[in-house]
């Protein structure tokens, strides 16, 4: 009797499952979706939207820096005197117009004097552009400076509207001070001496106090905003917040800078505003250097640098 042949003398090797290709680790997290299921959330999405106003680093400043800014502003003025004298002439013309108007409506002139703080930053746009060109090693041009606003029209318009609202509030507050201090609209006969009469001391103190509040607010939100909008692809809100952060975190140095501006401009206004022919453009150029020294690049502030409040 034949024995059956042995089957499977060499059994087939056991088949192992195919390896599953490894997937790179994902940064996505799941989040319950409405109606069941989940959807992925990429935490990098927020970063892709760009840095916020509070991500912009602020450089530490010293009390000697404002004097260096003025010195740098003077050097820029000397390197492009024609541009500086043009804008300085605009400042002088504004002063003469206010002085002429004062002879007929002193109360309204004092209210509109805040317009210097409103128009000043916009006139200085051309000076910022000239300093920017000098920093780049290029020769500034008057036509280019006059059209500096053209590249950032929308954001500059938004910021200008904010300054206009503040100036209107300042003017209204000044008229209220007049109404409270005098019985009707006073007549100073177009004379500054009549305004400075000791009998008007209470009015002068109140007017200066109101002016200091609004001038301080305008300075805080605009000290580096205009050159920042011109120089960077940033919005008006971010620029204003960065300027405010700078004043709040380095208050001492910025108050010293504000005092220097007030003293220089005040002395320049004494000889029939003629001093603004030089002082105006020098301060404008210096403001560009203040911005460049104070505001760093986007990102967290390095150790030892000013942080957000």
pLDDT one digit per residue (tens) for the chain, 309 residues: 445 444 444 444 444 444 444 444 444 444 444 444 444 444 444 333 445 777 889 999 999 999 999 999 999 999 999 999 999 999 999 888 877 776 666 656 665 666 666 677 778 899 999 999 999 999 999 999 999 888 788 888 888 888 888 878 887 887 788 778 776 655 555 555 666 677 778 888 888 898 889 888 989 999 999 999 999 888 999 999 999 999 999 999 999 999 999 999 989 988 788 999 999 999 999 999 999 999 987 544 433 344 333
Paired with 38 in beta bridges are 32
Dist CA 53 CA 216 (whole Å): 21
Residue 117 phi/psi, 5° resolution?
A: -75, -25
**Hey, what's the torsion of the CAs at 34, 40, 42, 46, to 10 degrees?**
-10
Burial of 104 (0-12, 13-18, 19+ CB in 10 A): exposed
Half-sphere exposure of 23 (CA within 13 A, CB side): 5
Dist CA 50 CA 177 (whole Å): 45
Q: What are the Cα distances from residue 251, in Å, to 104, 138, 242?
A: 40, 34, 13
Burial of 265 (0-12, 13-18, 19+ CB in 10 A): middle
Dist CA 162 CA 72 (whole Å): 29
What token pair was written down for 11? 């059994």
Q: What are the Cα distances from residue 85, in Å, to 70, 118, 301?
A: 17, 20, 38
Looking at residue 188, its pLDDT comes to 57
What token pair was written down for 101? 């108007």
Residue 64 phi/psi, 5° resolution?
A: -85, -10
SS3 154: helix
Residue reference for tokens 């029209």: 153
Looking at residue 27, its pLDDT comes to 45
* Residues 6+ away with beta carbon under 8 Å from 234: 155, 228, 242
Distance between alpha carbon 301 and the CA centroid of its chain, in Å?
Answer: 18
Burial of 23 (0-12, 13-18, 19+ CB in 10 A): exposed
**Hey, what's the torsion of the CAs at 144, 145, 150, 152, to 10 degrees?**
120
Residue 12 backbone class (left: φ over 0; alpha: ψ -120 to 50; beta: rest): beta
pTM of full prediction above 0.75: no
């Amino acid at each position: 009797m034949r024995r059956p042949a042995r089957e499977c003398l060499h059994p087939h090797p056991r088949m192992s499952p195919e390896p599953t290709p490894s997937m790179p680790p994902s940064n996505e997290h799941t989040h319950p979706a409405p109606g069941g299921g989940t959807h992925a959330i990429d935490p990098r999405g927020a970063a892709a939207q760009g840095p916020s106003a509070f991500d912009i680093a602020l450089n530490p400043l010293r009390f000697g820096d404002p004097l260096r800014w003025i010195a740098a502003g003077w050097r820029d003025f000397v390197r492009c005197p024609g541009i500086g004298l043009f804008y300085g002439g605009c400042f002088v013309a504004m002063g003469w117009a206010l002085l002429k108007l004062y002879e007929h409506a002193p109360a309204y002139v004092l209210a509109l004097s805040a317009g210097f703080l409103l128009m000043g930053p916009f006139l200085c746009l051309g000076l910022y552009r000239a300093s920017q060109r000098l920093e780049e090693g290029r020769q500034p041009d008057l036509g280019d400076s006059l059209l500096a606003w053209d590249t950032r029209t929308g954001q500059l318009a938004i910021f200008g509207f904010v300054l206009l609202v503040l100036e209107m509030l300042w003017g209204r507050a000044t008229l209220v001070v007049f109404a409270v201090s005098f019985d009707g609209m006073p007549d100073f006969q177009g004379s500054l001496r009549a305004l400075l009469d000791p009998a008007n001391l209470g009015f002068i103190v109140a007017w200066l106090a109101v002016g200091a509040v609004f001038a301080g607010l305008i300075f805080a939100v605009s000290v580096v905003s205009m050159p920042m909008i011109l120089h960077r692809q940033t919005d008006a809100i971010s620029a204003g917040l960065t300027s405010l952060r700078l004043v709040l975190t380095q208050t001492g140095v910025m108050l010293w800078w504000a005092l220097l501006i007030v003293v220089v401009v005040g002395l320049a206004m004494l000889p029939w505003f003629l001093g603004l022919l030089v002082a105006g453009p020098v301060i404008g150029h210096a403001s560009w250097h203040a911005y460049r020294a104070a505001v760093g690049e986007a990102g967290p502030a390095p150790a030892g640098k000013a942080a957000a409040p």
